[in-house]
Structure 1
């Protein structure tokens, strides 16, 4: 900062008049702090304070630091014992800057706390950004969680605004994310190849999509026979066949439960219901039974995806 630049005092808790050290940010904000606290959380500051001090210097020392107050405040707040609240980051870039400052000052005790805050604040809306920061910081747990959340992004890998915050990520970490997304798509697709995972209950056996007498008389019936629970291979109705094939393609592009559940994404579901209206018998029960099937389907997709690991 310029020598003529005016300074101000940081807001609580860094405005304590009993302070014995001042950290001055690049934008002229003075943070009143205590040497003991800074020494405990940062070996760098500890070494600085153990250097010989001039006995004639009565004023509180001022240390100029190369961070702005927007970065310094959350950094110091995380290491302050009586702060009473965690900082809220404005965006992932600010969180990354705080992380880099924590590393520079060797504040190892708060680095993982920053990871928890980043995940809590940004994971729902910015999973790729959280993934990128987590990879750079070595937060493998948060990287896995963010990668799983990124499955909600359709056709991951195509250029899109979703990739904001990914600029600093390495090629290896980006590749393993794409590989994870692809393998989850393969696993999710495979769920619909056989329905042996369905419960072997009388209700399941009588479901319309493989027991419709009216559809059996139609010219399109009899094309696909598939394993149903433990009942053997049963031939499914045309509308259900189309649903299975289409939903599997949807899951390949977006391998998560929301693909099957959200009407905006699951065009296969809506088309199946419309197609079922061609059958006088199916049209009255298709919505209820397909919805019941979809509940089991989603649960099985979740299980399949959970078995896929994010490569290290």
Structure 2
């Protein structure tokens, strides 16, 4: 057959194939109709079409508009392709099958009443346990981003949204000019508290209570869903903003500052959880 001169992409080079996908850049994928039909109703409908009368008895050839790399990623969500132990969540999403295992991904798993995903019947218990442990570790890492003195250190001196707090060599906070509204505020009436910066006992930063209200709300939500977008939700922001507007200094810029900070914090959380490793028995 003429198309056999074109390269075949491994591992989609099954010897007993009954359909061939040909990418836009002329790479072949030798596949099984049955597997594709089970993975997608689209493919199931495609294979009900009559075969090419010019090639009776030969595997069907389907010309695709996508390139080989795109098709490769798609097929890895349909076929149980063996792959080395993967380190990151993004690699997991690209390489493991079946397709709805994406719904089991612990970083994106939200409570649902839809019942047990059917893929659980085919996934070994050891893999489910690994996913549960991975999700627990992601929750721990996400909550650490809002939970300890290192988080305060990041907010005050490393976060790119405002001028860093000036801390002397001896560890004393010297200036908060240009920092976030909840740090720069000097209103003696509005409630505030001291927090440690970087775990140093003498580095005490005076912050308004409404920021700690926000931190507590973010921490609570991250307990069930370790995703950055959680800390940007209105339900998490609202209590702090309502508290902040009662302060004459914070009120004019509280919403803008907290919104910007939440966006930066969300990026930090996603960056930290992306480094959590997972080992699956595939």
The answer (yes or no) to whether the contact 2:106–2:134 under 8 Å persists in 1 is: no
**2:62 maps to 1:94:** no
More helix by share: 1
Give me the TM-score of the superposition, normalised by structure 1.
Answer: 0.54
- Aligned mates of 1:243, 1:182 — CA distance in 2: 22
The answer (yes or no) to whether the contact 2:138–2:273 under 8 Å persists in 1 is: yes
Paired residues for 1:6-21 under 5 Å = none
Provide structure 2 residue ranges, at least 5 long, that are not aligned to the other structure.
44-68, 94-101, 166-175
User: Relative contact order (C-alpha < 8 Å, sep 6+): which is higher?
Assistant: 2
Of 166, 187, 210 in structure 1, the residue corresponding to residue 119 of structure 2 is 166
How many aligned positions are there? 212
More strand by share: 2
The answer (yes or no) to whether the contact 1:197–1:229 under 8 Å persists in 2 is: no
Match of 2:184 in 1: 211
- Aligned mates of 2:247, 2:196 — CA distance in 1: 21
Deviation larger for 230-239 or 278-287 = 230-239
Give me the TM-score of the superposition, normalised by structure 2.
Answer: 0.59
Provide structure 1 residue ranges, at least 5 long, that are not aligned to the other structure.
1-33, 46-74, 99-111, 120-129
The answer (yes or no) to whether the contact 1:77–1:83 under 8 Å persists in 2 is: no
The answer (yes or no) to whether the contact 1:250–1:259 under 8 Å persists in 2 is: yes
Deviation at 1:225, TM superposition (A): 1.2
Q: Which has the larger radius of gyration?
A: 1
Given the superposition, is the C-alpha separation of residues 42 and 36 from structure 1 closer, same or farther in structure 2, using an over 3 Å criterion?
farther
Match of 1:50 in 2: none
- Superposed CA RMSD in Å reads 4.3
Secondary structure (helix, strand or coil) at the match of 1:282 reads: coil
- Aligned mates of 1:235, 1:292 — CA distance in 2: 20
**2:145 maps to 1:202:** no
Secondary structure (helix, strand or coil) at the match of 1:250 reads: helix
The answer (yes or no) to whether the contact 2:142–2:273 under 8 Å persists in 1 is: yes
